[in-house]
Amino acid sequence: MKQFRLPTTRLLRKEAEFRAVLARKCCSSNGLMRVYAAVNHVGFPRLGISISRAFGSAVQRNRAKRLAREVFRLAWHDLDAGCDYLLIFHRKSPKKDKAGKSRPAQKLSLAEVRESFLALAGKAVQKIER
């Protein structure tokens, strides 16, 4: 199953890399997450994830990070090749489902994270290109 793993070269790991993306200030957000984007010179997209302890327990934070990495793994070839993306989950923000009922953001599904991330990443990249 190693062939399906997300290579560590596709992840932002160092504090300097996170700061470089934040310094560009090209972001978009919704009630679930905020996505920052910045141009990189490595030729492929990379992802960084930041999540506060206020989001929930370690189990909830790790699940959100796993979902984000999986969304990125499945969609990195559809993203702009010369960009770094920094995904920041909002703290315990209530998310409304289709019935209009409020529910905690920690009960995330892969489809919700995918939809939000791809929409926000597209908006953030458009702000870079202006």
Measured CA to CA in angstroms, residue 86 lies from 6, 24, 100, 107, 116 at distances of 16, 11, 29, 21, 13
Q: Classify residue 97: in a domain, yes or no.
A: no
Number of domains in the chain: 1
**Residue 108 belongs to a domain with what CATH number?**
3.30.230.10
98-108 burial, b for 16+ CB within 10 Å, e for fewer?
Answer: eeeeeeebbeb
In a domain, 23, yes or no: yes
In a domain, 1, yes or no: no
Supply the range of the domain harboring residue 29: 8-92+102-129
SS3 label, residue 76:
helix
What does each of the 130 residues of the chain score in pLDDT, given as a tens digit?
567 777 788 889 999 999 999 998 889 988 889 999 999 888 899 999 999 998 888 999 999 999 999 999 999 888 888 899 999 998 765 555 565 555 555 578 899 999 999 999 999 988 887 6
Establish if 30 belongs to a structural domain.
yes
Domain contains 18: yes
Q: What does pTM read for this prediction?
A: 0.83
pLDDT at residue number 87: 94
pLDDT of residue 69: 93
Whether 64 and 86 have beta carbons less than 8 Å apart is answered as: no
* Residue 2 placed within a domain: no
In a domain, residue 63? The reply is yes
